[in-house]
């Protein structure tokens, strides 16, 4: 049996695998960490000499990669070799919502996970600890175990669940100073041994009390529940933002007033144009699907409401732009500041901006998009994926620009979709001068100073406050 972990392999060099393994490599110089991916382009980007070309933008990431890469951190496409050599294999591949077949639109697509399990089963010649890092439906470990236990080559596998709680934009800080690490595994002596070995890795930089051990099912389920509770807070405050706009209440004052109650707490109560990101919606849909499958319809309906409220918030923001601009945006230039689903990331998956843009394009608005970290091809990929209109129509109606100042020339309105700090520092008087009058701002992030914007002359609208 394994005494100490010296080699780690991580399958999946994405937003979770890349940063997580970089931090493990930094904090565990005695461990060799190899991150593998079937996407050769992505691996090439991770190996880029120019650290500004890493595939993921996260504050603090490039410094850690610079300090560890090709010392004890390696990025490679040689999946089989890395699996064979490792003591511990993290599975950190994507688990998107199914787009076909049974559970389409709700259930998690586990085909990438199963491929990983089959690959490990095929390649392994020594005992392994296999760690689910991806977010998975409760009881997935059972399926992985079945595949691994039927290889017939006498290798012992221990399967652990170790979900990741980092948020994008703060991934490195979240990893370095995690509130907790969750490790689920079998309650057998060998399961306990595996949990302790994995705990030891994290104990290289986190206090022991923050490392929680549970059974494997609690761990899998806790990840879905954590995301559901977080998203629920955003939908709850967003529902109140609509009420505030009708009653002269101010959503920020309400959030502060309730947040001072230590039982409620002040975090994660910022009203917005709606939550995005690759996980909240996916994980709640997954929870809804599981509850429904197990005959718990009331539970499924309860959580589905979080998503219904989020869709309402995005639609409400777009509708307000249209109705405020005299019920017609056809041919009007509307400028988007921000496309990413939150600041400090280049990730746009499920970003509210995509859905607001789609609604405005349906009304034939002319959109001009600027985001400090998002490239043109990504904006068009996101829109084309919706299939609402042809790629050609999307390119006729929307442009992506690199210079926000040039972009606002002759615009009817600016919509703020992402809370990038730099937007606050812009010369808003100059922007006002360049726009058509009356000049409108629709602030989906409550980012700008209302009094100042009104003093400049803008018609300024923000979520949750008239």
Task: Give the footprint of ligand UGA on this chain (CB under 6 A).
Answer: 135, 164-168, 227, 230, 234, 268-270, 272, 275-277, 279-280, 341-342
Q: How far apart are CA 326 and CA 432, in angstroms?
A: 20
Task: Pick between residue 179 and residue 427 the one whose CB is nearest to ligand UGA.
Answer: 179
Task: Pick between residue 106 and residue 238 the one whose CB is nearest to ligand UGA.
Answer: 238
Q: In this structure, are strands 88-91 and 7-11 parallel, antiparallel, or unpaired? A: parallel
Candidates 2, 47, 85, 115; binder of ligand NAD (CB under 6 A) is 115
Please state the closest distance from residue 200 (CB atom) to ligand NAD, in A.
22
Residues contacting residue 205 through CB under 8 Å, at least 6 positions apart = 27, 176
42 is in an annotated binding site: yes
Task: Pick between residue 3 and residue 267 the one whose CB is nearest to ligand UGA.
Answer: 267
Sheet holding 459-462, edge to edge: 398-400, 366-370, 333-337, 413-416, 440-443, 459-462
96 is in an annotated binding site: yes
Task: Pick between residue 11 and residue 234 the one whose CB is nearest to ligand NAD.
Answer: 11
Q: How far apart are CA 196 and CA 199, in angstroms?
A: 5
Please state the closest distance from residue 391 (CB atom) to ligand UGA, in A.
26
| Residues 206 to 225 in contact with ligand NAD, rule: CB under 6 A | none
Active-site residue, selected from the candidate residues 10, 28, 116, 279: 279
Candidates 22, 32, 72, 92; binder of ligand NAD (CB under 6 A) is 92
User: Which span sits near ligand NAD by CB under 6 A: 92-100, 213-221, 249-257, 381-389?
Assistant: 92-100
65 is in an annotated binding site: no
Clarify whether 279 is annotated catalytic: yes
Residue 116 contacts which entry, ligand NAD, ligand UGA, none (Cβ below 5-8 A, type-dependent): ligand NAD
Lay out the site mask for ligand NAD across 265-284 (x = CB under 6 A, - = otherwise).
-------------xx-----
Q: Note every long-range contact of 56-59, with CB atoms under 8 Å and residues 24 or more positions apart, other chains counting.
A: 56/14, 56/15, 56/18, 56/19, 56/346, 56/347, 57/344, 57/345, 57/346, 57/373, 58/19, 58/168, 58/169, 58/171, 58/172, 58/344, 58/345, 59/169, 59/170, 59/172, 59/173, 59/344
Nearest-CB residue for ligand NAD:
14
φ and ψ at residue 389, rounded to 5 degrees: -145, 175
213 is in an annotated binding site: no
DSSP conformational letter for 206: S
- Residues at the binding site for NAD(+) are 12-17, 37, 42, 93-97, 134-135, 168, 279-282, 349
Active site residues: 279
Binding-site ranges for ligand NAD (CB under 6 A): 11-17, 37-39, 42, 79, 92-95, 112, 115-116, 134-135, 164, 166, 168, 278-279
């Amino acid at each position: 049996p394994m005494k100490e972990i010296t080699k780690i392999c991580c399958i999946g060099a994405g937003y979770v695998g890349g940063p997580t393994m970089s931090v493990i490599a930094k904090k565990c110089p005695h461990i060799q960490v190899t991150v593998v991916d079937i996407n050769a382009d992505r691996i090439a980007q991770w190996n880029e000499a120019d650290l500004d070309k890493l595939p993921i933008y996260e504050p603090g990431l490039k410094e850690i990669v610079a300090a560890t890469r090709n010392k004890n951190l390696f990025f490679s496409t040689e999946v089989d070799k890395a699996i064979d050599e490792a003591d511990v294999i993290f599975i950190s591949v994507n688990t998107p919502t199914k787009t076909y077949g049974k559970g389409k639109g709700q259930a998690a697509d586990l085909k990438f996970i199963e491929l990983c399990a089959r690959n490990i089963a095929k390649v392994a010649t020594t005992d392994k600890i296999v760690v689910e890092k991806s977010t998975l439906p409760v009881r997935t470990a059972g399926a992985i175990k079945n595949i691994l236990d039927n290889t017939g080559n006498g290798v012992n596998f221990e399967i652990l669940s170790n979900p990741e709680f980092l948020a994008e934009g703060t991934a490195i800080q979240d990893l370095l100073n995690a509130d907790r690490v969750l490790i689920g595994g079998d309650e057998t002596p060998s399961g306990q041994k595996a949990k302790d070995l994995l705990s030891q890795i994290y104990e290289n930089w986190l206090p022991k009390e923050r490392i929680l051990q549970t059974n494997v099912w609690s761990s899998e389920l806790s990840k879905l529940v954590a995301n559901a509770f977080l998203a629920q807070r955003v939908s709850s405050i967003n529902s109140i933002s609509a009420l505030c706009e009708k009653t002269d209440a101010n959503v920020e004052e309400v959030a502060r007033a309730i947040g001072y109650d230590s039982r409620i707490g002040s975090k994660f109560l910022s009203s917005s144009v709606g939550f995005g990101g690759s996980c909240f919606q996916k994980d709640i849909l997954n929870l809804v699907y599981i509850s429904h499958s197990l005959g718990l319809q009331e539970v499924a309906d309860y959580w589905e409401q979080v998503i219904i409220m989020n869709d309402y918030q995005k639609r409400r923001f777009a509708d307000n732009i249209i109705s405020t601009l005299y019920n017609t945006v056809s041919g009007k230039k509307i400028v988007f500041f921000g496309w990413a689903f939150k600041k400090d990331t280049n990730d746009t998956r499920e970003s509210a901006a995509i859905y607001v843009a789609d609604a405005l394009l349906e009304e034939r608005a002319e959109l001009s998009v600027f985001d400090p970290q998002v490239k043109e091809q990504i904006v068009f990929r996101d829109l084309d994926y919706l299939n609402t209109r042809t790629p050609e129509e999307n390119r006729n109606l929307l442009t992506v620009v690199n210079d926000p100042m040039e972009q606002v020339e002759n615009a009817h309105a600016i919509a703020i979709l992402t809370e990038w700090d730099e937007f606050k520092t812009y010369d808003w008087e100059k922007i006002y001068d360049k726009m058509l009058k009356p000049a409108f701002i629709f602030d989906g992030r409550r980012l700008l100073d209302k009094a100042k914007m009104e003093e400049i002359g803008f018609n300024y609208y923000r979520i949750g406050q008239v």
